[in-house]
Amino acid sequence: MATTGRSGFSEFDRLLDLVRSTRAVLDALLEDGRLPSGGAAYLAGATLPHVEAMERGVRGWLRSDMADRDEMRYLVLRTAEARVVPPRDAAEAAAARAEAESDRARLAPADERLTRADAFSLVALAHARLVFAVLPRVPAAEVRFPVGRPTYADIPTPRGPAELIGRIEELERELWRIASGRRVRPMDPALRRTYGFFDAAERLDARTFPPA
């Protein structure tokens, strides 16, 4: 997959590589109607784990004073550990299997259950929040989604924790659907928002964060 110029910070470079490579996979899908060779494996092995890190970041970032009681109850029920609604389609079933595998790896063997705090999940979330804020402000000349008017101005920035987790979950759903080979419709608003996320994320490169 694509690699970016080096910034001097390995984790930042890895993140730039990930968003650029993901957008390249989505570009090929929109152009050819199918994923490129290795595209499904890349989404499942690299992009989706990063989106799952964003979700973990929400759980570490959320505080009781960020939402009222009803919204907080909703947010708690949206965490992977508390979901009880069965998968609604093949993509959600694949996501559920992946979450179960992740849980098994995380919880066994018993003497390895204590691990360091996952600080990068908070970094992944902070980056996602920045991208969501930048997305509607991407200049028309730099919008690369190939269908419709060249703008993301109609895609709102999440206004609170519930909308934030909803947008992250949408990214996860759409990427699973794409990786599982389901046919996509270029005019689908969820696909456009997903593509737009990685398009905007790629703008946060060395122009924004100069090399050290």
Q: What is the pLDDT of residues 36-62, one digit of tens each?
A: 999 999 999 999 999 999 988 887 777
pTM of the model: 0.75
The average confidence (pLDDT) of the chain is 81
> Is 144 within 8 Å of 26 (Cβ atoms)?
no
Q: Which domain holds residue 27?
A: 10-108+120-203
pLDDT digit string, tens, across residues 182-191: 888 889 999 9
Q: Is the pLDDT of residue 97 over 90?
A: no
Tokens of residue 5, six digits: 């110029």
Is a pLDDT exceeding 90 seen at residue 25? yes
**What would the two tokens of residue 35 be?**
């994923």
Residue 210 lies in a domain: no
Whether residue 104 is contained in a domain is answered as yes
Q: What is the largest CA-CA distance in the chain?
A: 55
pLDDT at 152 exceeding the cut of 90: yes
Give CA 154 to chain center in angstroms: 19
Q: Does position 109 have pLDDT exceeding 90, yes or no?
A: no
The predicted pLDDT at position 18 comes to 95
**Quick one: average pLDDT of 110-129?**
72
Q: How many CA atoms lie within 13 A of 6 on its CB side?
A: 3
Residue 212 within a domain: no
* Contact between 25 and 39 (Cβ < 8 Å): yes
DSSP state, 181? T
The reply to whether 20 falls in a domain is yes
Answer yes or no: is 3 within a domain.
Answer: no
- Our count of domains for the chain comes to 1
| Mean pLDDT (whole number) for 30-35 | 91
Q: Are 169 and 55 in contact (CB under 8 A)?
A: yes
Do 168 and 59 form a contact (C-beta atoms < 8 A)? no
Does residue 103 lie in a domain region? Answer: yes
Residue 149 belongs to a domain: yes
- Tokens 């390249």 locate to 24
**What average pLDDT score do residues 21-41 get?**
94
Give a yes or no: residue 208 inside a domain: no
Q: Is the pLDDT of residue 4 over 50?
A: no
Q: Which residues have CB under 8 Å from 193's CB, separation 6+?
A: 155, 167, 170, 174
How high is the pLDDT of residue 56? 87
